[in-house]
Structure 1
Amino acid sequence: MTRPTIGSLRVDGATLHYEVRGRGPLLLLIPGGTGGAAAFDGVADDLAAMYTVAAYDPRGMGRSTLEDAGAEQFVAEHADDALRMLDLLSPGEPARVVGVSSGAIAALHLLTAHPERVERLVAHEPPVVEVLPDASAHRALVARVQETLRTRGLAPAMAVFAAGLSKDGDSGEPQAEAGLPPGAAARAEQTTAGLPYFVGRIVPGFMSYAPDVHRLKALSDRLVLACGQDSHGELPYRAAAFLADALGSDLLHFPGGHTGLTTHPAEFGTLLREAFRRP
Structure 2
Amino acid sequence: MKESVLEVPGARLHHFVRGSGPLLVLIAGGFGDATVTDALANHLADRYTVLTYDRRGLSGSTTDSPALTVATHADDISLLLATVTTEPAYVYGSSFGGLIALELTLKNPDQVGTVVAHEAPVTQLLPAPERAVAIQDFLTVEETFATEGVGPALSYYAKFLDLDPTDREADNPLRTPGPDHLPNATVLLAHDTPAIRTHTFNLTDFQNSPVRIIPAAGQDSTHIWPNKCAELLADHLGVPCEPFPGGHNAYTYHPRATAHRLHQVLTS
Taking structure 2 as the reference length, the TM-score comes to 0.91
Q: Report the count of equivalent residues.
A: 263
Indicate the percent of aligned positions where both proteins have the same amino acid. 35
Greater mean deviation of Cα atoms: 157-166 or 11-20: 157-166
Question: Secondary structure in 1 aligned to 2:138?
Answer: helix
CA offsets, 1:51-105, max 9 Å, x none? 211100111112111114xx352100100111011100003x1111111111110
2:200 corresponds, among 210, 214, 220, to 210
Structure 1 residues 161 and 269, CA, compared in 2 at 3 Å: closer, same or farther? closer
Counterparts of 1:143 and 1:115, CA distance in 2:
32
Mapped contact 1:131–1:210 kept (Cα < 8 A): no
Query: Structure 1: any 5+ residue segments left out of the alignment?
Result: 167-174
Q: Which residue of 2 aligns with 1:244?
A: 234
Q: Which residue of 2 aligns with 1:169?
A: none
2:142 corresponds, among 142, 146, 149, to 146
After the TM superposition, which parts of structure 1 deviate over 4 Å for at least 4 consecutive aligned residues?
181-184
1:52 corresponds, among 49, 54, 57, to 49
Counterparts of 2:122 and 2:63, CA distance in 1:
25
Query: Structure 2: any 5+ residue segments left out of the alignment?
Result: none
- The Cα shift of 1:110 comes to 0.6
Q: Does 1:186 align with 2:183?
A: no
Counterparts of 1:132 and 1:114, CA distance in 2:
26
Matched residue type, 1:144 = T
Q: Which residue of 2 aligns with 1:161?
A: 157
Greater mean deviation of Cα atoms: 125-134 or 115-124: 125-134
Counterparts of 1:55 and 1:195, CA distance in 2:
19
Counterparts of 1:240 and 1:209, CA distance in 2:
16
- The Cα shift of 1:219 comes to 2.6
Mapped contact 1:130–1:207 kept (Cα < 8 A): no
Q: Which residue of 2 aligns with 1:128?
A: 122
Counterparts of 2:166 and 2:262, CA distance in 1:
23
Counterparts of 2:112 and 2:257, CA distance in 1:
24
Superposition RMSD in Å = 1.9
Counterparts of 2:33 and 2:125, CA distance in 1:
26
Counterparts of 2:266 and 2:157, CA distance in 1:
33
Q: Which residue of 1 aligns with 2:81?
A: 86
Taking structure 1 as the reference length, the TM-score comes to 0.87
Greater mean deviation of Cα atoms: 132-141 or 77-86: 132-141
Counterparts of 1:176 and 1:163, CA distance in 2:
9
Q: Which residue of 2 aligns with 1:177?
A: 165
Mapped contact 1:228–1:237 kept (Cα < 8 A): yes
Counterparts of 1:192 and 1:159, CA distance in 2:
14
